[in-house]
Amino acid sequence: MMPLLKIARLLILADPNAMLRGAALSVVVLLMGAALLGLSGWFITATGLAGLAGIGIAFDVFRPSAGIRFLALGRTAARYGERLLTHDATLRALAALRVSLLRRHAISDSRVLAEMRSEGALTQIISDVDALDGIILRLFLPSVSAVLAHGIAFAVLGLLVGWPVALTILAGYALLAILVLWRLARRCLVPSGDSETRHQRLRRSVIDMIRDREALILSGRLNEREAELVTSEREARAVLAVLDREERGAGAALSASVSIVTALAFLAGGAMLAQEAIGPARAVIGLFVAIALAESLLPLRRGFAELGRMVSAAGRVWGPEETDAGPSQAPAPVAESGPLLLIRTEKIDLIVPAGGTVALTGASGSGKTNLLMQIAGMLPAEGIRLHGKSPEDWPEAKLRKIVTVVPQRSALLAGTIRDNLSLAGSVAEAQMWQALKAVDLEQAIRARGGLDLCLGEGGSGLSGGQAKRLCIARALLRQPQLLLLDEPTEGLDETTAERVMIGIRRALPGATIVAALHRGAEHSIFSDKVTLQN
């Protein structure tokens, strides 16, 4: 529950003025509705009594009628403004939440970021952020508005009608509504979170089936996978049915509470009338106000029914690192001792000194990419040491100064060449051109506008080989002690591949280079060649 409270605080403080305006109009809508129904009830009763008494012609119908019209039109305008401002405040709050979420993930280590690149993780984040908009729209604003509206209505009713009637309405709604909503939240807490989990699993399964449809068809497992999806959907619907049943039950209980409080308000007004403390027209005001205040309670059931989904989403979005356990301790300094890279696994027994170059070869599936990721600290590593320590024991910032990895999949931004190279850090323009020259991209980039050449999403605008070389140029600007390359010459002709490999060695003459290759392992820059077996 604590992550939910912290995210609620973040959302509220994102734009407190917008939130205040939305809450104020929500209260105005509820109060105008209560005033409209109360005044209408008083007016109907008063005009009926005036007619019975034979003084209807002398009764002032114009001012109450004008008040009713004002409240009706004002409530409509306030409702429109309330919808506009509360949604505006919610969108501002969610924008702030997304920025905060991005900032927190931006400082995560490489392993966490790598795990988040899957479509399942991204879909989960999007769904969680969407779920959290209910904190404002379905919990915070309706609850605050209901409390304020009931408090103001209590004070006004106490002054106009009498404190017994006001206290009856306030106590009745407070006790019954709290009991019903607490029971709803408790009974829906687990099913609501379970429903979100099942729907996320169903979405990921559908994505997986669409992505793997050709393999499923060829293996004859398409019908089997379809049956699994139908079963998953049936289970998700069963949980939704439980939530719907609980929510409808809470709605019925709240409606019954309204009837009970209305009847009690009528009896309290009748008791005061019998004591001649108030007149008949004022005695019925409490009855109609009690009916009007039901508008503040019925919308709360959706928010409390989805509380479990919000709690689980907040726990995932806020993350375990955001706790009150105190400031995290800085990692202990790691002494640099031993060879730069030592690998002792079932497949390899290798010591790579500083400045050494190793070509990793082997058939597809032999584990070349996994080995590079283990050396880079992005997968659990056993038997791998960097300066005598496991990659997992190095502080993230220190490890990234030692090791730079260029994976097979190019990672480029929608922006200029300069923007993409600047991700390596603060580097001069001359250094950028030197790096581009090292990977045989200088002439191609100059011919197309230089460093201000704009690329599309994912680096579109460059060929696959050019995109890969741009990523290598960015890695060269990091000046690492250990450079890991996964298929650096893939998609290049032999002449270009030769120039690129020589350029990399010249740009990093003292660095250790480990490259996974299907071809080109015999290149002169490599001092060792290691073949991995399946």
pLDDT band with cut points at 50, 70 and 90 for residue 258: very high
Q: Which are the contacts of 345, defined by CB distance < 8 A and separation ≥ 6? A: 382, 383, 384
Give the pLDDT score at 334: 45
More confident site: 254 or 104? 254
Q: Decide: residue 209, CB within 10 A, 0-12 exposed, 13-18 middle, 19+ buried.
A: middle
Q: Is the dihedral of CA 514, 520, 524, 528 positive or negative?
A: positive
DSSP, collapsed to helix, strand or coil, labels residue 299 as coil
Strand order in the sheet with 403-406: 403-406, 482-486, 512-516, 357-362, 528-532
More confident residue, 64 or 163: 163
pLDDT tens for each residue of 283-341? 889 899 999 998 888 888 888 888 888 888 887 777 654 433 333 344 444 445 567 88
Mean pLDDT of 363-384: 82
Show the tokens assigned to 148: 């304020």
Q: Return mean pLDDT, the chain.
A: 83
Half-sphere exposure at residue 414, Cβ-oriented, CA atoms within 13 angstroms: 2
Average confidence (pLDDT) over 27-39: 90
Q: Identify the pLDDT of residue 257.
A: 92
Provide DSSP, 301-351: HHHHHTHHHHHHHHHHHH-TTS-SS-PPPPPPP----S-SEEEESSS-EEE
Q: Which of 30-44, 115-129, 237-251 has the lowest mean pLDDT?
A: 115-129
pLDDT of residue 325: 37
Say if CB 372 and CB 486 are below 8 A apart. yes
Q: pLDDT band at 108, cuts 50/70/90?
A: low
Which tokens hold the place of 360?
């990793």
The answer, yes or no, to whether residue 113 has pLDDT greater than 60, is yes
Average pLDDT for 32-57:
79
Domains annotated for the chain, with CATH where assigned, are 2-318 (1.20.1560.10), 341-532 (3.40.50.300)
Quote the crossing angle between the two packed helices 464-477 and 429-438, to the nearest 10°.
130
Reply yes or no on whether the pLDDT at 415 is more than 80: yes
Each residue's pLDDT tens digit, 180-200:
999 998 888 888 888 878 887
pLDDT score recorded for residue 267: 93
* C-alpha pair distances (Å), 34 with each of 28, 272, 287, 295, 333: 10, 21, 10, 9, 66
Residue 85 pLDDT > 90, yes or no? no
Closest by CA to 73, choosing from 26, 29, 122, is 29
Task: Give the pLDDT score at 322.
Answer: 43
Residue among 169, 161, 167 nearest 273 (CA): 161
- Contact 464/492 with Cβ under 8 angstroms? no
**Residue-wise pLDDT tens digits, 461-472:** 888 888 888 999
Give the integer Cα–Cα distance in Å for 150 and 90: 24
All residues at 6 or more sequence positions from 284 whose CB lies less than 8 Å from its CB, including other chains: 41, 42, 45, 266, 269
pLDDT of residue 328: 38
User: Which tens digits make up the pLDDT trace of 130-162?
Assistant: 778 788 888 888 898 899 999 999 999 999 888
